[in-house]
């Protein structure tokens, strides 16, 4: 803590133009790339449209789709907490790799489920499972790790801001 305070005393206050310096270019590109990738995963759309997706999958009543959506939200919260507890023990990269792989597989399986007409009776259960796996994979990887890494890649001078 003393080292951080001494560093803050020695450094001048950061400016927006500091982000454009050549030594900060790679951190800026990584930061923008992480933010872009996190948003391109479509997590907000999946969570927002979860009841509609589940309805298309064959869950017939609004009550069932709402309960399934609540279950997806619970998975999101619980696995975010698990990620926070594991992040320093397991590491950022392994959690990111496992999470992104889980997201890709779950969406791939869900695409197959929706394209197989003979799965009408179990389509709803498979869709809920795939959505939970997708959201859970996001919750252990890009969800919390993005916010941690974005804070870690910039020096204190830049994080402090103008």
Which domains, ranges and CATH numbers included, belong to the chain? Answer: 43-149 (1.20.1250.20)
Instruction: Judge whether 132 and 75 are in contact, CB under 8 Å.
Output: yes
Instruction: Judge whether 57 and 132 are in contact, CB under 8 Å.
Output: no
Q: Where are the beta strands (DSSP E) in the chain?
A: none
Q: Provide the pLDDT for residue 14.
A: 65
pTM of the model: 0.80
Cα atoms in the Cβ-side hemisphere of radius 13 Å centred on 58: 15
Q: Is the pLDDT of residue 11 over 70?
A: no
What digits encode the pLDDT tens for the residues 63-93?
888 888 898 999 999 999 999 999 999 999 9
Q: Provide the pLDDT for residue 67.
A: 85
- Angle between the 123-140 and 62-90 helix axes, to the nearest 10 degrees? 30
Residue with tokens 């507890």: 85
Q: Provide the pLDDT for residue 12.
A: 60
Instruction: Judge whether 119 and 60 are in contact, CB under 8 Å.
Output: no
- Which one, of 72, 42, 67, 55, lies nearest residue 135 by Cα? 72
Q: Is the pLDDT of residue 39 over 80?
A: yes
Mean pLDDT of the chain: 84
Instruction: Judge whether 106 and 137 are in contact, CB under 8 Å.
Output: yes
Q: Provide the pLDDT for residue 94.
A: 93
Q: Provide the pLDDT for residue 68.
A: 85
Measured CA to CA, the distance from residue 17 to residue 146 in angstroms comes to 23
Q: Provide the pLDDT for residue 75.
A: 93
């Amino acid at each position: 803590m003393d080292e951080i305070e001494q560093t803050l005393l020695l450094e001048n206050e950061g400016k927006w133009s500091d982000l454009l310096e050549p030594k900060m270019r790679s951190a800026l590109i990584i930061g923008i790339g992480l933010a872009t990738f996190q948003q391109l995963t479509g997590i907000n759309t999946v969570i927002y449209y979860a009841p509609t997706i589940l309805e298309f999958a064959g869950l017939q009543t609004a009550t069932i789709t709402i309960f399934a959506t609540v279950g997806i939200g619970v998975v999101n919260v619980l696995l975010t907490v698990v990620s926070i507890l594991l992040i320093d023990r397991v590491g950022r990269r392994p959690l990111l790799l496992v999470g992104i792989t889980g997201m890709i597989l779950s969406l791939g399986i869900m695409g197959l489920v929706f394209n197989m007409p003979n799965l009408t009776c179990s389509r709803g259960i498979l869709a809920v499972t795939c959505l939970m796996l997708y959201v859970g994979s996001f919750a252990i990887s890009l969800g919390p790790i993005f916010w941690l890494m974005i804070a870690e890649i910039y020096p204190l001078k830049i994080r402090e801001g103008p």
